[in-house]
Chains A and B, each alone.
Chain A
């Protein structure tokens, strides 16, 4: 039997057990071998050897004794990007909106692309849409990442959330999540000339082209969903819920976070294998 067999008997327990308490808060007993020690009133007291286990301080103990909260850091090779609320564009929205700011997300994606310890990205969507430019910018960044990406639509991924959801390599939608597909509209002053319509159509095409080139849905199908009447109370268009989005070919699979993370892990492993084989 090896001499270091006590290692690993109980995880987290350090095998060294000194005679005195190693805590700095406890006064060490007077040791006559070291006469340089300051005078201690209990000099003649017989020593009571105490055996303590050298156990590392846990979270609760460090809060009680040191006043610090040491949250154990779990090293993860995937990064989670959440896109929530309104996607804020070039105009700062009033403060009652929860917003996702593209000027922060875009450099984050650059850092994710460049950091060697990040091997995959999980994109969580619960958004009501927002600025077309900002949304398309985020979608283009996600789709051009060289690392595996998986998106999950929880709650909702409406309007400009649709291109972001399909931008990843594999997409999931929760069973109850919904995606509103409806035409874009112009805000502010609209000049009533035919060019306005052409401009709007061009802007519409940007979104349709992105969605159709990154998912299984065809342009005609997507436009049909977009201009369908009788589904939305205040607008034309369609709401796709859970498996409807999968049946239309917009999203790859119905599933939640568990499926998404295991899919991402599988993609990361495949990517690693591919990179190992690649240079040969």
Chain B
């Protein structure tokens, strides 16, 4: 990886060692497959969409980092 930025690398990469491997689960929310992670307060955050339908990527509810609204929690 070539990180090309005028920001100091110590700032950008600070905490990289403590991050640990992210714990993703694969779920399908209203027919959209995605990788999600559970936050400490029990909410479900979108990490990445796995859908092959490009229209799903324009849906604002599924932007990485947004929290899913579940009728029933699947996890």
- Residues of A near any B CB (own CB < 8 A): 79, 86, 89-97, 101, 103-104, 107-108, 110-112, 114-115, 128-133, 135, 158-160, 180, 182, 184-188, 203, 207, 232, 234-235
Docked Cα-Cα span, A45 to B25, in Å, equals 65
Residues 50-67 of chain B, each 1 if its beta carbon lies under 8 Å from chain A, else 0: 000011111000011000
Among B5-61, those with CB < 8 Å from A are 5-9, 12-16, 19, 22, 48-49, 54-58
Q: B3 an interface residue at 8 Å Cβ cutoff?
A: yes
Residue numbers in A under 8 Å from B5 (CB-CB): 86, 128-130, 158-160
**Chain A proximity of B54: nearest CB distance (Å):** 4
Residue numbers in A under 8 Å from B14 (CB-CB): 94, 96
The 4 lowest CB-CB distance pairs between A and B, nearest first, are: A129-B5, A111-B54, A107-B57, A94-B15
Contact in complex: B48, A187 (CB < 8 Å)? no
Contact in complex: B48, A104 (CB < 8 Å)? yes
Q: Give the residue name and chain of the B residue nearest to A90 (CB).
A: B1
Residue numbers in A under 8 Å from B58 (CB-CB): 79, 108, 111-112, 115
Q: Please name 5 further chain A to chain B contacts, defined as beta carbons within 8 Å, in addition to the given A86-B5, A101-B64, sorted by A numbering.
A: A93-B12, A96-B14, A107-B56, A108-B57, A115-B58
Q: B75 an interface residue at 8 Å Cβ cutoff?
A: no
Central interface residue in B3, B48, B56, B58, by most chain A CB within 10 Å? B3
Q: B2 an interface residue at 8 Å Cβ cutoff?
A: yes
Contact in complex: A89, B55 (CB < 8 Å)? no
Docked Cα-Cα span, A97 to B1, in Å, equals 17
Residue numbers in B under 8 Å from A128 (CB-CB): 5-7
**Chain B proximity of A235: nearest CB distance (Å):** 7
**Chain A proximity of B15: nearest CB distance (Å):** 4
Contact in complex: A86, B12 (CB < 8 Å)? yes
Contact in complex: B1, A184 (CB < 8 Å)? no
Docked Cα-Cα span, A130 to B4, in Å, equals 5
**Chain A proximity of B11: nearest CB distance (Å):** 8
Contact in complex: A95, B22 (CB < 8 Å)? no
Central interface residue in B5, B7, B9, by most chain A CB within 10 Å? B5
Residue numbers in B under 8 Å from A203 (CB-CB): 2
Q: Give the residue name and chain of the A residue nearest to B21 (CB).
A: A92
Residue numbers in A under 8 Å from B1 (CB-CB): 89-91, 131, 133, 187-188
Contact in complex: B54, A108 (CB < 8 Å)? yes
Contact in complex: A96, B57 (CB < 8 Å)? no
